[in-house]
């Protein structure tokens, strides 16, 4: 039977409950929830007894397997805080490599697209980092697109971003872009079996294509080159075992590909460009 938290508990009691339930980040999660629902600092979270009904409810949600980020309703990405709900993926540090690529490689006054935008964290963070840029963000699900719109509004970049409700697997873009970025569903159906209960609480359609994790990526690579400006690039986040596959897909479309590695040295982003004339021979 799921243990429920009582009122008037300490940081250490909450941490033990979390640890006993298999939560690896027990101490961190306890601190975050106390800070959020009791209004104390991180330094002060370890002291005192806590009894608010809001904290008790939050602790019980965490014990039931709901992700910490959904409970507190926000999470940080690229140093900015984004609203998150179960209608979108939780922003992850791995994806900062993709966002950083946009920030570093978009030309002055450039325009980029963010396919499968989710919370909008990639597009919004890039616009915050680069006030000279404009963006188009595409999302298939209306409730998710509403979250991206809200994040753009909260960060004051709504005037530089156009939102499109549409399918990234189709030729949904209009015009040309310096960079087309995407963090698409790439988890394979086999890998889904090994995910934690917290990750499995995120929208499955944003995690996996229900197959080999490559079907949506193939469609993006098929349609996107027609919307690239001269010298433009496509940047796609992928699973750490998918680098070779993405390079082969790019080559099959007459494109060149380079794999970027994350901070742990794993394949994480594939950058795809039109081949230069001298590369074709």
Over residues 256-267, the mean pLDDT reads 96
Q: Which of the four pLDDT bands, split at 50, 70 and 90, describes residue 275?
A: confident
Q: Do 106 and 34 share a structural domain?
A: no
Looking at the domain assignment, is residue 46 inside a domain?
A: yes
Q: Do 164 and 266 share a structural domain?
A: yes
Q: Do 199 and 124 share a structural domain?
A: yes
52 three-class SS: coil
Q: Which of the four pLDDT bands, split at 50, 70 and 90, describes residue 257?
A: very high
Q: Do 55 and 176 share a structural domain?
A: no
Percent pLDDT > 90 in the chain is 93
Looking at the domain assignment, is residue 70 inside a domain?
A: no
Give pTM, 2 decimals: 0.93
The pLDDT tens digits of the residues spanning 79-135 come to 999 999 999 999 999 999 999 999 999 999 999 999 999 999 999 999 999 999 999
Q: Do 235 and 147 share a structural domain?
A: yes
Q: Do 53 and 118 share a structural domain?
A: no
pLDDT at 5: 54
Total number of domains constituting the chain: 2
Of 162, 167, 177, 176, nearest to 112 by C-alpha is 177
Three-state secondary structure readout of the chain? CCCCCCCCECHHHHHHHHHHCCCCCHHHHHHHHHHHHHCCCCCCCCCCCECCHHHHHHHHHHHCCCCHHHHHCEEEECCEEEECCCCCCCCCHHHHHHHHHHHHHCCCCCEEEEECCCCCHHHHHHHHHCCCCEEEEEECCHHHHHHHHHHHHHCCCHHHEEEEECCCCCCCCCCCEEEEEECCCCECHHHHCCCCHHHHCCCHHHHECCCCCCHHHHHHHHHHHHHEEEEEEEEEECCCCCHHHHHHHHHHCCEEEEEEECCCCCEEEEEEEECCHHHCC
**Can you give the residue range of the structural domain that contains 112?**
86-279
Using the predicted structure, report yes or no on whether residue 1 has a pLDDT greater than 80.
no
Of 238, 216, 233, nearest to 181 by C-alpha is 233
CATH number, position 242: 3.40.50.150
Confirm if 113 and 226 have CB atoms less than 8 A apart. Answer: no
- CA–CA distances in Å: residue 185 to residues 4, 89, 217: 35, 10, 8
The pLDDT tens digits of the residues spanning 205-250 come to 999 999 999 999 999 999 999 999 999 999 999 999 999 999 999 9
Q: What are phi and psi of 17, to 5 degrees?
A: -60, -45
Looking at the domain assignment, is residue 76 inside a domain?
A: no
pLDDT at 48: 87
Q: What are the beta bridge partners of residue 67? A: none
The pLDDT tens digits of the residues spanning 46-83 come to 998 998 999 999 999 999 999 999 999 999 999 999 99
Residue appearing with tokens 């971003």? 161
Looking at the domain assignment, is residue 133 inside a domain?
A: yes
Looking at the domain assignment, is residue 79 inside a domain?
A: no
Looking at the domain assignment, is residue 3 inside a domain?
A: no
Q: Do 234 and 119 share a structural domain?
A: yes
Looking at the domain assignment, is residue 175 inside a domain?
A: yes
C-alpha to C-alpha distance for 269 and 183, rounded to whole angstroms: 9
pLDDT at 276: 73
Q: Do 247 and 147 share a structural domain?
A: yes
Percent pLDDT > 70 in the chain is 96
Residue 13, both tokens? 């009691």
pLDDT at 71: 98
Looking at the domain assignment, is residue 249 inside a domain?
A: yes
pLDDT at 280: 40
Using CB atoms within 10 A of its CB, is residue 248 exposed (0-12), middle (13-18) or buried (19+)?
Answer: exposed
Please compute, for residue 254, the number of CA atoms within 13 A of its CA located in the half-sphere on the CB side: 10
Confirm if 239 and 219 have CB atoms less than 8 A apart. Answer: no
- CA–CA distances in Å: residue 63 to residues 11, 120, 245: 15, 28, 39
Residue 150, both tokens? 């809200």
Q: Do 155 and 21 share a structural domain?
A: no
Q: Do 109 and 28 share a structural domain?
A: no
The pLDDT tens digits of the residues spanning 172-214 come to 999 999 999 999 999 999 999 999 999 999 999 999 999 999 9
C-alpha to C-alpha distance for 236 and 181, rounded to whole angstroms: 6
Q: Do 47 and 117 share a structural domain?
A: no
Q: Do 94 and 198 share a structural domain?
A: yes
The pLDDT tens digits of the residues spanning 126-168 come to 999 999 999 999 999 999 999 999 999 999 999 999 999 999 9
- Average pLDDT score over the chain: 94
Using the predicted structure, report yes or no on whether residue 7 has a pLDDT greater than 50.
yes
């Amino acid at each position: 039977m799921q243990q429920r938290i009582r009122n008037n508990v300490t940081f250490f009691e909450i941490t033990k409950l979390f640890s006993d339930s298999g939560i690896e980040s027990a101490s961190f999660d306890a601190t975050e929830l106390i800070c959020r629902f009791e209004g104390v600092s991180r330094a002060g979270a370890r002291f005192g007894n806590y009894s608010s009904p809001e904290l008790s409810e939050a602790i019980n949600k965490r014990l039931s397997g709901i992700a910490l980020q959904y409970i507190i309703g926000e999470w940080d990405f690229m140093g900015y805080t984004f609203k998150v709900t179960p209608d979108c993926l939780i922003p992850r540090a791995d994806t900062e490599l993709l966002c950083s690529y946009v920030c570093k490689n978009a030309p002055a006054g450039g325009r980029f697209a963010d396919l499968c935008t989710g919370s909008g964290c990639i597009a919004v963070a890039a616009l915050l980092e680069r006030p000279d840029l404009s963006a188009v963000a595409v999302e298939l699900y209306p409730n998710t697109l509403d979250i991206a719109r809200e994040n753009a509004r909260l960060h004051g970049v709504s005037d530089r971003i156009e939102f499109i409700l549409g399918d990234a697997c189709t030729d949904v873009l209009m015009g040309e872009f310096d960079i087309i970025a995407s963090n698409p569903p790439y988890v394979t159906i086999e890998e889904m079996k090994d995910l934690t209960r917290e990750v499995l609480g995120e929208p499955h359609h944003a995690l996996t294509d229900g197959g080999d994790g490559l079907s949506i990526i193939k469609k993006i690579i098929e349609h996107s080159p027609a919307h690239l400006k001269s010298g433009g690039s496509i940047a796609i986040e992928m699973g750490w075992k998918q680098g070779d596959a993405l390079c082969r897909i790019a080559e099959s479309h007459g494109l060149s590909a380079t794999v970027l590695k994350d901070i742990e040295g794993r394949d994480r982003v594939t950058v795809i460009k039109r081949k230069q004339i001298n590369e074709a021979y």
